[in-house]
Amino acid sequence: MPTGVALHDAREQLFNAAERVLLRDGPNALTSRAVTTEAGCAKGVLHRHFADFDAFLAELVLDRIARIDDQAAALRNSAGAGTVAGNLAGALTDVFESVAVAIVGLVTSRDELRARLRQTTPTGIPVLMEATAMLASYLTAEQEAGRIAADADVSTLAPTLIGAGHLLFADRKGAPPEAGDVHKVVAAVIAGVVREPLP
């Protein structure tokens, strides 16, 4: 493996390589050697940018959480437009068709990684907690717009939607669920509180 090849934006290239390994081979295959091999660089490159492999993994998870934060702003801004079920189904698909399901498996399989992430996400499972907060924020905005009942329990609806979405997308090796299947589940979860015609 050549050691003199310069990596532009090495952190992002290493993160992307880790995602590919994680999606293709699962959490157990994710090692520093697998990541650097996938990125086409020397193993030392990872250790120049991160204190150790768990520090790298923690930064990977935090980077992917930041992406959910970006999605959250866009979803909240969609309140009042389209349909509530359509917006929620799209958000769940965006979260779970990404690397989120694999990240959840990674976090739950590595004790040291979970311990490091507890510093920023003290409860729950990182990624899923942020995705839940994203949906809760959106549902609150729809309550304010009058499209979700004022007495709807958003703090229960959001994790229910995340749990249902996670189950739909959990099989990494199988085909992802059809858009209509995601929409059907979302529509069933919000049926009692939505104040717009469900398509």
Tell whether 77 is covered by a domain. Answer: yes
Count of domains in the chain?
2
The DSSP call for residue 52 is S
On whether both 113 and 176 belong to a single domain, the answer is yes
- pTM equals 0.82
CA 137, chain centre distance (Å):
16
Domain that residue 21 falls in:
7-49
Residue 42 and residue 36 in contact, taking contact as beta carbons nearer than 8 Å: yes
On whether both 146 and 78 belong to a single domain, the answer is yes
Tell whether 198 is covered by a domain. Answer: no
Instruction: Measure the CA–CA gap between 99 and 70, rounded to whole angstroms.
Output: 15
Instruction: Measure the CA–CA gap between 78 and 51, rounded to whole angstroms.
Output: 40
Q: CB under 8 Å to 128, separation ≥6 — which residues?
A: 100, 104, 162, 166
Per-residue tokens: 47: 């250790």
On whether both 127 and 89 belong to a single domain, the answer is yes
User: Residue 140 belongs to a domain with what CATH number?
Assistant: 1.10.357
Tell whether 2 is covered by a domain. Answer: no
What are 2-54's pLDDT values in tens digits?
444 444 588 889 999 998 998 888 888 888 999 999 988 888 888 888 988 98
What are 63-108's pLDDT values in tens digits?
888 888 888 999 999 999 999 999 999 999 988 876 777 888 888 8
Tell whether 196 is covered by a domain. Answer: no
